[in-house]
Amino acid sequence: MTEIITCMPPHPHLNVGSSFFVLFCVCFAEEDSQADASSINVVLMGTLAKDFNQAVNQGDVVVASGFTVGKSPTVHKDKLHPCNLLMSGDNACIYVFRLPPPRDPTSPPAVKRGPAPSTEVSRPPKTQKYTYVGLGDLKTGSVVNVYGVVVFFKQPFKSRGTDFCSSLKITDQSNQKIGCTIFCDKLEDHPKIFKIGDIVRMHRVKTQFFNDSITLVNTFGFSVVTFDGAVGANVEPRTSSLSFHFDREDCRTVEELRSWAARQAVIPSVSTTPLSAVQPKAYFDLTCQLLAKAPIDTTCTLLRVWDGTRCPHTLLKVIVEPNVMVGPTSFSIDRENLIANILVYDNHVEFAQQLKPGDFLRIYNLRAIPGSSKVPGLTSSQSVEVDHLAFHLHGGTAFGRGIRVLPENSPDIQELKRTIKAFPEDDELNDSTLLEIWGTPPESLGDVTAESSTDSLRASERNCTHDIEPVTLSELKRSNLGRVHHVRAQLRSYKPHRLHQALKLYCSKCTSMQDIPDDELVAHLFLEASKESGPCSPPPWLLSGQIDAPRDNPGSLKQALTVHLSSQLVSENRTKELIFLMGSTLEETRQLVSGYQNIIPVRSSGGHLTLLDLSAPFLFRGRRKYYGCRRCSEPALRELCAEGVELIDETIIAKALGIQLLQYVLLMAFEVQDPTDTLEAFLWRDAKSFFGVSPEEVAASQEAQNCIHQTMDSLCPPGGSTGERPWLDLCLMASRTEDGGGQKQPCYQICHTAFTKPPSTHSDPEPA
């Protein structure tokens, strides 16, 4: 009997069309002082190799029979047993046994992937049936499995002991209401209850008698799965458990409890209140999106949220230092009117620290307090308006008070997103008014283009549909903010001059912008990661192998790099599409991009395979490198489902790895002038349409970089006089932004404008 330590696909440089497999096994039967010889290669051919690949995971125990013993041709390279086992022919047979997961030996094996039934590859049958005790039939002093509809719950809170504690009350057809207390040190092991009416299934809870009634407390081997309680909703188990049992009968139980609960009116008709329906003095639950947050003091944190509805009452304004705000410091006036400032206190502050702008939240037992109240840390003149509604999440957990992050796919969040979608995008360089104007029908399009095309001296043209007359820069500066304007101007100067300084990485989730990490730093990260590329256990869906490292020069020694491939892709002969590469330098990784469509650098960390620090690119695709947002990503090596996916690209990979993909953006400041004034305008969102190349291309291609340089040289010839500079027809968006000191100031952004061509003749100064 052998245990699999590594399962390797055909050598990626070999012909992957042939169906054979190489296994590295540990033979327990051989008691042998030579460590090298305790591992032996088993070679599988044909259908056996294919079936085996589908059935096996690392750590499985296999029994092989009907093999022939041959000389291992790779003994010098892999230093394993000098012989190998050849599994071919009719007698060859290999059995796969899955060892039960060590954490929970009583639960049935995890079934993450359907086993492939085969005469040669078989598994022991898994039979475990759970029985559930009705809540009316509980007896003291027993350990049971139960189902129930949640009628009360508290989000997990820190107990005085070592664990988090969840408190809930459940009921079922017996109408008994049973209190349950769950202690677990890990938050993810707690029930994921979002609202009253959710259905929980708990395994291994013990009954206790307390205060004249039976209560349930989790005991060894406890696990819980939660379901939405709405009749007709998908029966989708909410659990972080990798291994749980779920069959048709469970599905039926959930559906029966749902319809029973609906008939009993166990679930309140209104579970959460939109901001538009909030009543002063009332307690309510709010489903919302976090836009920004700021610590106020040690006992209080401000959460700025919205749900796309407008509260009819004047809301509390809280002034905080812009430098402590996480997320945008200001919003357009339209959006500002929809934002609720929530002050969360005491025990909720710690939880609020984990929240990220963009998160979808449910805040339980929020209080709407009318009148004025003091905000800690601020003087009364700063903090409050008279006659407003303040939202407080008081300290404590009474009445289930707390905050929960809801997954984006939950039905309530889908609905919230639809409401929010009705409002225009908004960020520090954008303005909601702009989108109203974007909605203008395009009947004026002909005029605008005709006007531009008649003038051969124009180096840019507007491609917007705004029917407005151009204004001078001095007129523009006197105009209202929050609108778009058309101007004709020349480029006086621009910054930065170095393209790599203009290229940034932008996170659309938290709206942060950062510089692209320089090569030296990235190379260092690769080097550090390669030092730790010790033994590690890759997840079972990966197959491990080795490829030759690219050589620095022809004379240097050939070195091998460890790669991991998705077993699914291997089985589909798609081995060139994605590799997880370990221990390579930045330079080696770059050289390998010609051979593999997607390269994900990985490292060994504490015996596990993980991604590199997010300061390094998480993905190499040809010349393109992709980065993830450190703030918004929750990176983890997860299986990529590529079945039916024709092109594996950065979006799919980022999603699978829990990475919030950063976009390449170009950010430039143009100083433009006309005879009346000068003005600084940013080119950012519409840089792609302006230059005709995407920032992503610019980051990866010399040609695209040259294109930008040529454009800038023709708009602003080095050493040239003002008279030689072409005129630009620009569409400018004027909005308000906040500088570092909290001062509002105008911000102009170039939009809907495309560079056309350098003018061929000398131009006369243009009348405004």
Partner DNA sequence: GTTTAGGCTTCG
For the chain, how far is it from start to end, CA to CA, in angstroms? 87
Nearer to DNA, 115 or 400 (CB): 400
**Contact range with DNA by CB under 7 A, out of 251-259, 374-382, 606-614, 673-681:** 374-382
The DSSP symbol for 661 reads: B
| In the complex, minimum distance from the CB of residue 343 to DNA, in angstroms, rounded to a whole number | 7
| Maximum pairwise Cα distance, the chain | 97
Q: How far apart are CA 225 and CA 42, in angstroms?
A: 41
The reply on whether position 375 binds DNA by CB under 7 A is yes
| In the complex, minimum distance from the CB of residue 387 to DNA, in angstroms, rounded to a whole number | 17
The reply on whether position 621 binds DNA by CB under 7 A is no
Structure token pair of residue 212: 């004249």
Burial class (CB within 10 angstroms; exposed 0-12, middle 13-18, buried 19+) of 567: buried
Contact yes or no for 435/380 (Cβ under 8 A): no
The reply on whether position 394 binds DNA by CB under 7 A is yes
The reply on whether position 373 binds DNA by CB under 7 A is yes
The reply on whether position 378 binds DNA by CB under 7 A is no
Contact yes or no for 21/53 (Cβ under 8 A): yes
The reply on whether position 765 binds DNA by CB under 7 A is no
Q: Which of 146, 288, 300, 403 binds DNA (CB under 7 A)?
A: 300
The reply on whether position 509 binds DNA by CB under 7 A is no
Nearer to DNA, 217 or 768 (CB): 217
Cα torsion through 408, 413, 418, 422, rounded to 10: -90
**Contact range with DNA by CB under 7 A, out of 315-323, 395-403, 429-437, 443-451:** 395-403
The DSSP symbol for 6 reads: E
Nearer to DNA, 20 or 157 (CB): 157
Nearer to DNA, 77 or 374 (CB): 374
The reply on whether position 178 binds DNA by CB under 7 A is no
Q: Which of 19, 122, 208, 705 binds DNA (CB under 7 A)?
A: 208
Nearer to DNA, 103 or 497 (CB): 103
Range 133-152, binding DNA (CB under 7 A): 151-152
Nearer to DNA, 160 or 248 (CB): 160
**Can you name the residues that pair with 515 across neighbouring β-strands?**
504
Report the b/e string of 375-409 with b at 16+ CB within 10 A: beeeeeeebbeeebbbbbbbeebeebbbbbebeee
Q: Which of 211, 743, 760, 761 binds DNA (CB under 7 A)?
A: 211
| In the complex, minimum distance from the CB of residue 169 to DNA, in angstroms, rounded to a whole number | 5
> Which one-letter amino acid corresponds to residue 699?
A
| Stated length of the chain | 768
The reply on whether position 160 binds DNA by CB under 7 A is yes
Q: How far is CA 306 from CA 191, 275, 295, 358, in A?
A: 27, 8, 18, 10
**Contact range with DNA by CB under 7 A, out of 244-252, 366-374, 530-538, 616-624:** 366-374
Geometric angle at alpha carbon 661, from 527 and 701, rounded to 5°: 70
| In the complex, minimum distance from the CB of residue 160 to DNA, in angstroms, rounded to a whole number | 4
Q: Which of 118, 167, 243, 472 binds DNA (CB under 7 A)?
A: 167
Computed from CA positions of residues 732, 735, 739, 743, in that sequence, does the dihedral angle turn out positive or negative? positive
3-state secondary structure of 442: helix
Nearest to 613 by CA among 623, 625, 621, 605: 605
The reply on whether position 365 binds DNA by CB under 7 A is yes
Q: How far apart are CA 390 and CA 567, in angstroms?
A: 55
Nearer to DNA, 159 or 710 (CB): 159
Nearest to 619 by CA among 644, 654, 648, 573: 654
| In the complex, minimum distance from the CB of residue 143 to DNA, in angstroms, rounded to a whole number | 10
**Contact range with DNA by CB under 7 A, out of 87-95, 122-130, 214-222, 232-240:** 214-222
| In the complex, minimum distance from the CB of residue 106 to DNA, in angstroms, rounded to a whole number | 9
Q: How far apart are CA 458 and CA 753, in angstroms?
A: 12
Q: Which of 17, 114, 141, 161 binds DNA (CB under 7 A)?
A: 161
**Alpha helices, DSSP H only, in 56-142?**
75-78
| In the complex, minimum distance from the CB of residue 62 to DNA, in angstroms, rounded to a whole number | 30
Cα 332 from chain centre: 26
Q: How far is CA 3 from CA 39, 40, 59, 97, 265, in A?
A: 10, 11, 6, 9, 55
| In the complex, minimum distance from the CB of residue 166 to DNA, in angstroms, rounded to a whole number | 9
Nearer to DNA, 97 or 210 (CB): 210
For 393, phi then psi, to 5°, come to -105, 100
The reply on whether position 537 binds DNA by CB under 7 A is no
Burial class (CB within 10 angstroms; exposed 0-12, middle 13-18, buried 19+) of 632: buried
The reply on whether position 401 binds DNA by CB under 7 A is yes
The reply on whether position 345 binds DNA by CB under 7 A is yes
| In the complex, minimum distance from the CB of residue 510 to DNA, in angstroms, rounded to a whole number | 27
- Could you write out the DSSP letters of every residue in 244-269? ----HHHHHHHHHHHHHHHHHT-S-S
Contact yes or no for 107/101 (Cβ under 8 A): yes
The reply on whether position 280 binds DNA by CB under 7 A is no
Q: How far apart are CA 546 and CA 544, in angstroms?
A: 7
Q: Which of 243, 299, 440, 508 binds DNA (CB under 7 A)?
A: 299
Nearest to 240 by CA among 191, 313, 184: 191
**Contact range with DNA by CB under 7 A, out of 5-13, 94-102, 117-125, 397-405:** 397-405
Nearer to DNA, 403 or 698 (CB): 403
What mask of x and - would describe binding to DNA in positions 98 to 137, judged by CB under 7 A? Answer: ----------------------------------------
The DSSP symbol for 448 reads: H
Q: Which of 13, 117, 399, 495 binds DNA (CB under 7 A)?
A: 399
**Alpha helices, DSSP H only, in 645-701?**
650-656, 687-691, 695-700
The reply on whether position 215 binds DNA by CB under 7 A is yes
Residues in binding contact with DNA, number by CB under 7 A:
42
Structure token pair of residue 176: 């008994």
Q: How far apart are CA 749 and CA 734, in angstroms?
A: 7
The reply on whether position 362 binds DNA by CB under 7 A is no
The reply on whether position 485 binds DNA by CB under 7 A is no
| In the complex, minimum distance from the CB of residue 337 to DNA, in angstroms, rounded to a whole number | 24
Q: Which of 169, 203, 621, 752 binds DNA (CB under 7 A)?
A: 169
The reply on whether position 33 binds DNA by CB under 7 A is no
| In the complex, minimum distance from the CB of residue 59 to DNA, in angstroms, rounded to a whole number | 23
Nearer to DNA, 218 or 749 (CB): 218
The reply on whether position 183 binds DNA by CB under 7 A is yes
Nearer to DNA, 219 or 605 (CB): 219
The DSSP symbol for 593 reads: T
Q: Which residues bind DNA (CB under 7 A)?
A: 151-152, 154, 159-163, 165, 167, 169, 177, 179, 181, 183, 208, 210-211, 215, 217, 220-221, 283, 299-300, 345-346, 365, 367, 373-376, 392, 394-401
